[in-house]
Amino acid sequence: MDRQDNVAARILALDDDAFRPRLRAWLAETYAGFVRGWPGGACPRDLDFRRAWEDTLCGHGWSGLGWPSEYGGHGLPLSRQAVFHEEHARCGAPLGVNLIGHGILAPTLLHFGTDAQKRRFLPGILSNRDVWCQGYSEPGAGSDLASVRTRAEPVAGGYRLNGHKIWTSFADRAQWCFVLARTDANVPKHKGLSFLLVDMRSTGVRVEPIRQITGDAEFCEVFFEDVFVPQDLLLGAENQGWKVAMAAASFERGTYFIPRLVRFAQELQAVRRLALRPDAYGHTPASSADVRHRWARLAADSHVLALKSRRALEGAMRGDPPGPEGSSTKIHWSEAHQRLLELSLQMLGEGACLEGAGHGAGDGKGAGKAGAVGNAGIDAGIDVRGTAGVEADREAGISPACNACIEADSHADIDADAATLTHAYLWSRAETILAGTSEIQRNIIAEQMLGLPKA
């Protein structure tokens, strides 16, 4: 599994003290160069931009971070993987398009796959040649995933697949999909499921993108109509798909929230800039006690979420099994993020409805430049004293020179913040639904953490 330029191996050879600053410098320089070479500048919501940046990372060796070396990986401990994910988010680069392939399917293959399956699929994920999507949710089976109705009937040489999946991220760009399908309808619902690897180019696969409120179409509906799936594309044992799916869900738990919490801190700084900008009458939103109180609460949320993320990472490093604490973090993050973005729109006012804010969100060009909401870390020294927070950023090692929009008096940067925050607000409406609704998460907390009886 050759890499065009395995920069990652050279940086990873450094000791812990040198690793983070060297990685940070390389990401900042490389991403800035990538942006300069992209027609029209940074488009971090454009899927072509995201895929090309992801290809660049993989080409330089930044994939397979935790994989065994025999499959082309680096065998990194979770602690170093976490540093990479934090620094990658810090530099302002977007998440990739093939997150499901790298973060979920690859470790699942390593754990459950046959040697032939590993040899067939891992190279395509490592190089980012093959994009994967996840075929779980259905119109009648979202949070209650075990109720899926997609059927996989045994036939000569494999299975005949029929069903309908929904909210499938990037299905219109994926070459492969892992599908949870029912192979036995005569046993309890958790026990009759199998985990199939489906070629999206197969006869009978139809993909319909779903246009979102943001104007984007990251999600899709996928229809399977008499799709033949060869027997050797069954991952794990037949009727053991629930076990495989639950294991797959656990593989990202140590690092999943890291880029999201970095982004939360960056958006918090963008909201601060909005709060400190005077309007046409000289009034600043930060003069309102209500705004200061809400902002301070969000700063506390950012800090507590960072601590929860660290606890989850340490638990994963010890090998602790996943627990209901993840539900607490998911609720806290999604609901705090919605509150943060509601505050931002309150301060933007009618500016949130301008062409540059709303429509830039839809076409992927509204951000205008790299890191449009700043360059903060997970816990970036946020300061409720207003402009003093810039000094806190400097003390945390976050240089304003790294990103022009860190300065509160830059109107161009405020405009970029407006576009980014408006898009984030619209997208955030899904965050209390995806990956388990807040209602389902509260049931998990009530039953498994508080010991309350089932309803």
Rounded-to-integer distance, Cα 97 and Cα 48, Å: 9
Question: How big is the chain by its Cα radius of gyration, in Å?
Answer: 22
Closest CA to 434 of 178, 256, 174, 206: 256
User: What does the DSSP 8-state code read for residue 445?
Assistant: I
DSSP of 381-423: ---TTTTHHHHHHHHTT--GGG-GGG-TT-HHHHHHHHHHHHH
Query: Is 395 annotated as catalytic?
Result: no
Under 8 Å between Cβ of 370 and 35? yes
The number of residues making up the chain comes to 455
Number of C-beta neighbours around residue 223 at 10 A: 17
Token duo for residue 297: 């609460």
Under 8 Å between Cβ of 45 and 366? yes
For residue 77, what are the contacts with CB-CB under 8 A and spacing of at least 6?
66, 317
Under 8 Å between Cβ of 398 and 380? yes
Q: Up-side HSE of residue 33: CA atoms within 13 Å toward CB?
A: 8
Report the greatest alpha carbon distance in the chain: 76
Under 8 Å between Cβ of 256 and 107? no
| Residue at 141: amino acid letter | A
**Residue of 221, 252, 335, 447 marked catalytic:** 252
b or e along 92-120 (b: 16 or more beta carbons within 10 Å of the residue's beta carbon)? bbbbbbbbbbbbbbbbbbbebbeeebbeb
Active-site residue set = 252
